[in-house]
Structure 1
Amino acid sequence: MHRSVSLKLLTLARGIQFKNLAEIGVWLGETSYFFSQFFPEAHLYLIDPWKPSKQYLENGQGPSHIQQEYDWARKNAHRLFQNNSQVSILQKTSHDALSLVLNHLDLVFIDGNHSYRAVKDDIQNWRRKIRRGELLTGHNYHPNFLGLIRAV
């Protein structure tokens, strides 16, 4: 099931009115755009450094080519939200953004660096930002990402 459908069903089932959300790992902003449309009253914190980490540099393309892709993705995300005052785009690592985001989030969606250490750190750090009873969720729980599975 597509993540937008599953989130919609979850929201309908629980009757949650999200007011403050954070997405870690924005890339093009597609999931962010879904959040902004489905929860138009919510404030979104979009967190992504848009810089390749070591795991992405190992694919043989070289840093400059990959950075061009990251720059393109960042520009796309900024374009989607350029006139939306409900969105704060933070071009930072998830760790560096912690101090800039409210401590009472309704939802944190983790889809950043998929390495074991990064996912484990994101879960430990960002769960403290969530209001009691709300959601910490993510994407790419898949055999291609064994580090992510291990961290969860």
Structure 2
Amino acid sequence: MIARDEFKKPNFDDVYGITANPIRLIFMIGILWHLSKNGDTEGLQITEVGCWTGSSTLTWGQAIDEYFNGKGQITSIDPWIPYVNIQTNQTTTNKMMNAALEENRIFDVFIRNTSFLSQNIDLKIMREPSSSALTQIKKNSQDLVYVDGDHTYESVKNDIENSIPLIKEGGVLCGDDLEIQLHDCDETIYLLDP
């Protein structure tokens, strides 16, 4: 049973906060500060690819409150389905993440966490793969697109290619994480621990 006071703050405990890196959040807020100095400070449009439990969503929301008079839209794209191949990635963390996704707990926590966004922020949730969701967003409409979904090379490349047409002039395309490619590491280490 969930303690009543747990609903007084977002939940990033255990598996729910496993992907949140506090240092990157500072840079995310800084990007929106920069955008606020160079353009319209109302009606900011952000698309994020990959949301997990909403840490980045809340960070964008905090910056919208601070620098854009609390007015803006965040489009959150994530299918919230298991994505780690447990056959090749058998760590306890990966198993916990996949189980939480299978049981819909991650999406439920995302919904609860994002309920802490200010009411002026329009949150649009697209629970589908980025390959289809990004094609539904109007071209030249986004001030910022943040790519943090599937971290494999092909998926990141596709997300970047699909995001570029969406960005307004002077907008920002940024992201977090790309899994290392085999040609970028010592192959003997990879062969020891694939």
Question: Shorter-chain TM-score: which interval?
Answer: 0.7 to 0.9
Which of 78-87 and 106-115 deviates more?
78-87
Deviations 1:44-68 (A, max 9, x none): 000000112254663237x996543
Please give the residue correspondences for 1:8-87 in structure 2 after superposition, counting only pairs within 5 Å.
Answer: 8-14=29-35, 15-16=37-38, 17=41, 19-39=44-64, 40-53=70-83, 55=85, 58-60=88-90, 66-70=97-101, 71-82=104-115, 84=119, 86-87=122-123
Shift of the 124–91 alpha-carbon distance from structure 1 to 2, 3 Å rule, reads: same
Shift of the 37–66 alpha-carbon distance from structure 1 to 2, 3 Å rule, reads: closer
Which of 42-51 and 92-101 deviates more?
92-101
Give 2:145's match in structure 1, choosing from 80, 98, 108. 108
Q: Distance in 1 between matches of 2:167 and 2:127?
A: 21
CA RMSD of superposed structures (Å)? 2.8
Unaligned runs of 5+ in 2: 1-21, 65-69, 185-194
Looking at CA atoms only, which structure, 1 or 2, has the larger radius of gyration?
A: 2
Q: For residue 129 of structure 1, report the CA deviation from its aligned partner.
A: 0.7
Q: For residue 80 of structure 1, report the CA deviation from its aligned partner.
A: 2.2
Structure 1 length-normalised TM = 0.80
Q: Which amino acid in 1 is paired with 2:171?
A: E
Q: Percent identity?
A: 23
Contact 1:45/1:101, CA 8 A, preserved across alignment:
no
How many residues align? The count is 145
Q: For residue 75 of structure 1, report the CA deviation from its aligned partner.
A: 0.7
Shift of the 25–38 alpha-carbon distance from structure 1 to 2, 3 Å rule, reads: same
Structure 2 length-normalised TM = 0.64
Q: For residue 133 of structure 1, report the CA deviation from its aligned partner.
A: 1.8
Shift of the 47–13 alpha-carbon distance from structure 1 to 2, 3 Å rule, reads: closer
Unaligned runs of 5+ in 1: none
